């Protein structure tokens, strides 16, 4: 290095690789790396070691610091980390930095253009699959960005993935290759060796469990499913978006044709998906938010949003495997812009819809009701305190909640196990009519029911309860019976009668000729 002396201070400058041993208090400036050094001096002068000490600047590599001790000086004092204040816990800076893994440490770029598939799968494998030692596991951090992948991301057992927000960190499947050659998912669960499908749990691997994913989006521009939950238990999604490529116009043009889902499940008889929770998630741009015929148990979807979909949650609409879904809970979610039904529990049992809010659902994006908002294929499912934008008038045309095979094709249903109550049904009672039909039931599904009703005809008001027990088709001696118990402030001029023909039970009305139309409002409770 060239030597420059100003007063009593000596300085050297040159390239980093040419830095010599500096004299005590002598400064050396590395012009290529913009780093500053000072000579330690000699041992005789009291220096602990001979060498050069780097003076920190904005261009210094802070990892030259060898030790770290937690202090928390922001609270106004130094925290005691060791058994005594004079014996603190000291860790290396490397160990401190390794507490939290970053996908960029493994080569991921996140610019939406580079292919990050290998880097992301490598990070997942190295953190969770190399050894069974729990100490190798770290939360894997995804800084804000779009991580483009061209093959499925395989998320192994014990993984914990953390993004910077559902609209900030995105895993995007975007490939120009033949989509049929892929695993057909943006991401899927794997076991502790990152094995998938029929290989899960083989070679001594632990099946998917205790996987946590939060604050990120899984998205596809391809016509393919977003996420596969396979053979998993006790796993959690928090503030995660599942986004597909479909728009409203795509769904209108081909309502269920694309058949892509935000989440699908796969189970075996020994590895049944259970205890999976989705909270504060969003499902959009897809045929189905969640769709499966697989055997699953104890799945909870809460505080989530479903929109720009053909159907929201669809269980057991194909051929349910080993009974399909049981214990599925859709609670406190919002459904809007759903072309067909928001929730379909078809050939399945013991599933719950509760405290959900349904706006534009089941209207085929036309504003007019086309299909039920909630559809049950069996009566052993539950709808509790769900709220609907669909008006009572529209509900008289197409049900809000409908149980397939029940007597009702209109109105709305409260379904509690085998107890069913139809509510909110209204009908005009025309003047001067005889034996006009109000509704029919079938003894195949309902053998006894209670009709609670109100009739208003001008100023006359009548309230009553009509209890009906149908004739037993196996015993002709057991005949149809009914009782109409009511009170009224003035004669409404209305008579209710019940008739039965074979398995069909009909409730009819007759009105006097008063020139006035009456309004009947009633609900049904199935008793047997």
| DSSP strand pairing (233-243 vs 153-155) | unpaired
Q: How far apart are CA 519 and CA 516, in angstroms?
A: 10
The boundaries of the domain holding residue 503 are 426-526
Q: What pLDDT score was predicted for residue 528?
A: 78
Residue of 350, 359, 213 whose CA lies nearest to 280: 213
284 with 229, same domain: the answer is no
413 with 438, same domain: the answer is no
Q: Is residue 266 part of a domain?
A: no
Q: Is residue 69 part of a domain?
A: no
301 pairs with which residues across the strands?
278, 330
CA 264 distance to own-chain centroid: 11
One pLDDT digit (tens) per residue for the chain, 528 residues: 444 444 455 688 889 888 888 988 899 999 988 889 999 888 888 888 788 888 888 777 665 556 777 776 555 667 777 888 778 888 887 777 777 899 999 999 999 999 999 999 999 999 999 877 776 778 999 999 999 999 999 999 999 999 999 999 999 999 865 555 445 799 999 999 999 999 999 999 999 999 999 999 999 999 999 999 999 999 999 999 999 999 999 999 999 889 999 999 999 999 999 999 999 999 999 999 999 999 999 999 999 999 999 999 999 999 999 999 999 999 999 999 999 999 999 999 999 999 999 999 999 999 899 999 999 988 788 888 899 999 877 876 788 888 775 444 444 455 555 566 665 578 899 999 999 999 888 887 788 889 999 999 999 999 999 999 988 766 666 688 999 999 999 999 999 999 998 888 999 999 999 999 999 988 888 887
Of 353, 387, 417, the one marking the end of a domain is 417
Q: Is residue 75 part of a domain?
A: no
Q: Is residue 80 part of a domain?
A: no
345 with 443, same domain: the answer is no
500 with 386, same domain: the answer is no
Q: Is residue 73 part of a domain?
A: no
Q: Is residue 283 part of a domain?
A: yes
Number of domains in the chain: 4
Of 31, 60, 89, the one marking the end of a domain is 60
380 with 398, same domain: the answer is yes
DSSP result, 372-414: -SEEESSSSSEEES-EESS-HHHHTTS-SEEETTSS-SSSEEE
Provide CB contacts within 8 A for 501, sequence distance 6+: none
Which H or E run includes 253? helix 248-253
Tell me the whole-structure pTM to 2 decimals.
Answer: 0.72
357 with 500, same domain: the answer is no
Provide CB contacts within 8 A for 181, sequence distance 6+: none
107 with 239, same domain: the answer is yes
Residues in the chain: 528
254 with 217, same domain: the answer is no
Which H or E run includes 121? helix 117-128
Task: Name the one residue in this structure whose structure tokens are 């009105």.
Answer: 511
235 with 209, same domain: the answer is yes
Check if the beta carbon of residue 386 is closer than 8 Å to that of residue 356.
Answer: yes
112 with 239, same domain: the answer is yes
Q: Is residue 162 part of a domain?
A: yes
407 with 466, same domain: the answer is no
Instruction: Pull the structure tokens for residue 429.
Output: 């009672």
Of 41, 60, 79, the one marking the end of a domain is 60
220 with 312, same domain: the answer is no
């Amino acid at each position: 290095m060239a030597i420059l002396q100003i007063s009593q201070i000596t300085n050297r400058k040159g390239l980093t690789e040419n830095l010599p041993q500096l004299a005590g208090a002598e400064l050396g400036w590395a012009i290529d790396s913009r780093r500053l050094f000072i000579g330690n001096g000699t041992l005789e002068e009291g220096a602990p070691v001979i060498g050069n000490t780097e003076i920190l600047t904005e261009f210094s590599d802070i990892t030259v610091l060898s030790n770290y001790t937690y202090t928390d000086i922001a609270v106004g004092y130094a925290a005691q980390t060791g058994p005594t204040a004079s014996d603190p816990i000291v860790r290396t800076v490397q160990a401190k930095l390794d507490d939290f893994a970053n996908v960029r440490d493994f080569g991921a770029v996140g610019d939406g253009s580079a292919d990050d598939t290998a880097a992301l799968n490598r990070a997942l494998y190295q953190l969770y699959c190399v050894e069974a030692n729990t100490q190798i596991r770290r939360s894997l951090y995804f800084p804000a960005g779009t991580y483009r992948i061209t093959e499925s991301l395989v998320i192994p057992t014990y993984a914990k993935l953390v993004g910077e927000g559902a609209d900030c960190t995105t895993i995007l499947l975007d490939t120009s290759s033949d989509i049929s050659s892929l695993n057909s998912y943006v991401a899927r669960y794997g076991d502790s060796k990152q094995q998938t499908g029929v290989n899960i749990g083989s070679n001594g691997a632990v099946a998917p469990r205790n996987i946590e994913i939060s604050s990120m989006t899984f998205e596809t521009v391809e016509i393919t499913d977003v996420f596969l939950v396979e053979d998993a238990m006790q796993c959690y999604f928090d503030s995660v978006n599942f986004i597909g490529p479909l728009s409203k116009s795509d769904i209108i043009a081909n309502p269920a044709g694309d058949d892509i889902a935000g989440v699908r499940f796969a189970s075996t008889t020994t590895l049944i998906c259970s205890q999976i929770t989705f909270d504060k998630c969003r499902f959009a741009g897809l045929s189905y938010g969640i769709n499966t015929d697989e055997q699953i148990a104890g799945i909870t979807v809460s505080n989530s949003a479903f929109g720009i979909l053909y159907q929201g949650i669809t269980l057991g609409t194909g051929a349910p495997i080993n009974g399909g879904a049981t214990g599925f809970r859709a609670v406190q979610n919002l459904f809007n812009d759903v072309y067909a039904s928001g929730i379909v529990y078809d050939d399945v049992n013991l599933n719950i819809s509760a405290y959900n809010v349904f706006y534009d659902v089941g209207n085929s994006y036309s504003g007019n009701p086309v299909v039920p908002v909630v559809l049950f294929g069996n009566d052993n499912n539950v709808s509790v305190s769900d709220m609907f934008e669909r008006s009572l008038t529209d509900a008289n045309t197409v049900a809000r909640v409908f149980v397939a095979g029940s007597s009702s094709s209109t109105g709305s249903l409260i379904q509690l196990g085998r107890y069913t109550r139809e509510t909110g049904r209204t009908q005009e009672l025309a003047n001067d009519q005889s034996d006009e039909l109000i509704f029919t039931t079938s003894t195949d599904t309902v053998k006894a029911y209670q009709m609670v009703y109100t009739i208003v005809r001008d100023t006359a008001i009548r309230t009553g309860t009509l209890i009906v027990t149908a004739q037993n088709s196996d015993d002709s001696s057991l005949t149809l019976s009914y009782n109409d118990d009511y009170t009224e402030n003035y004669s409404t001029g209305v008579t209710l009668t019940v008739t039965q023909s074979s398995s069909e039970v009909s409730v009819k009305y007759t009105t006097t000729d008063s020139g006035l139309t009456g309004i009947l409002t009633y609900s049904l409770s199935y008793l047997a």
